[in-house]
């Protein structure tokens, strides 16, 4: 489904964020990418979202080179991906409901679909009673649940979660991981970056370990080992 082919990312100051990274992710997999800060985890996810371009190598989604997509194709491609970030990245001037509705609007969904699906998906993340609250009126865990609801509302092929529990307390961390596992159980591919050992161990699925921009381990049912 996703294939990294000798991908390197070199910045102007000659530092390497990624160095010849190659691996594949199959449909319905749950992959945890672990490593210290600066290991290249976030850069890897940015490559999938085409937020960053590789200096060398290619990133494929199915058989398409993501970085060869034109602007229109890239927009369509991004609608197939649900992204969750450590800093939530909700639209501050929109309510929880509107944040999720926005993702549906850009995908061209009808008003009827939006009215039906948004409450449903907010229910799934147990936030139905706060649908009209603005992000600044929500706790960190609640914001992240809105972000997850936004990520899953268009039934994406992949969920990319970049340190989604980085700003959360243990209880919220546990809840977010359970939601991500549930999403994966329903058949969506999940790619999670984290440096939280507890999270990786509780998921108990494939773990890719990165160090200084390189993949140093790839365990099918791994644990967090550094």
CB of 58 to another protein, least distance (A): 20
* Partners of residue 10 on adjacent β-strands: 16
CB of 216 to another protein, least distance (A): 29
User: Could you count the other beta carbons within 10 Å of the beta carbon of residue 71?
Assistant: 6
CB of 184 to another protein, least distance (A): 20
* Residue 102 near residue 177 (C-beta atoms within 8 A): no
For residue 13, with 0-12 CB atoms within 10 Å meaning exposed, 13-18 middle and 19 or more buried, which class applies?
Answer: exposed
Gap between the Cα atoms of 38 and 34, Å rounded? 11
Number of residues that bind another protein (CB under 8 A): 22
For residue 102, with 0-12 CB atoms within 10 Å meaning exposed, 13-18 middle and 19 or more buried, which class applies?
Answer: middle
Cβ distance to another protein smaller for residue 63 or 93: 93
CB of 189 to another protein, least distance (A): 17
Site string for another protein, 54-93 (x = CB under 8 A): -----------------xx--xxxxx-x-x-----xxxxx
Cβ distance to another protein smaller for residue 83 or 200: 83
Quote the Cα angle for 42-22-52, to 5°: 35
Instruction: Tell me if 23 contacts another protein by CB under 8 A.
Output: no
Cβ distance to another protein smaller for residue 83 or 177: 83
Cβ burial 150-166 (10 Å sphere, 16+ → b, else e): bbbbbebbbbbbbbbbb
CB of 48 to another protein, least distance (A): 11
**Which of the residues 123 through 182 are near another protein (CB under 8 A)?**
150
- Which residues form the interface with another protein (CB under 8 A)? 49, 51, 71-72, 75-79, 81, 83, 89-93, 102-103, 105-107, 150
């Amino acid at each position: 489904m996703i294939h990294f082919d000798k991908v390197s990312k070199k910045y102007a100051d000659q530092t390497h964020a990624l160095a010849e990274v190659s691996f594949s992710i199959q449909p319905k997999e749950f992959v945890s990418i672990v490593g210290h800060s600066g290991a290249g985890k976030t850069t890897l996810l940015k490559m999938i979202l085409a937020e960053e371009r590789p200096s060398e190598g290619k990133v494929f989604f199915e058989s398409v080179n993501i970085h060869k997509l034109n602007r229109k194709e890239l927009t369509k491609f991004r609608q197939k991906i649900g992204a969750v970030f450590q800093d939530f990245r909700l639209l501050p001037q929109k309510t929880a409901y509107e944040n999720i509705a926005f993702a549906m609007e850009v995908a061209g969904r009808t008003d009827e679909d939006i009215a039906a699906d948004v409450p449903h998906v907010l229910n799934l993340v147990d936030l139905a009673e706060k649908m009209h609250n603005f992000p600044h009126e929500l706790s960190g865990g609640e914001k992240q649940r809105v972000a997850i609801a936004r990520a899953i509302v268009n039934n994406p092929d992949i969920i990319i979660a970049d340190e989604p529990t980085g700003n959360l307390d243990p209880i919220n961390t546990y809840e977010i991981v359970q939601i991500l596992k549930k999403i994966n159980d329903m058949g969506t591919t999940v790619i999670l970056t984290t440096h939280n050992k507890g999270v990786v161990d509780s998921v108990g699925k494939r773990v890719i370990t990165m160090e200084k921009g390189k993949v140093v381990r790839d365990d099918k049912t791994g644990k967090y080992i550094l």
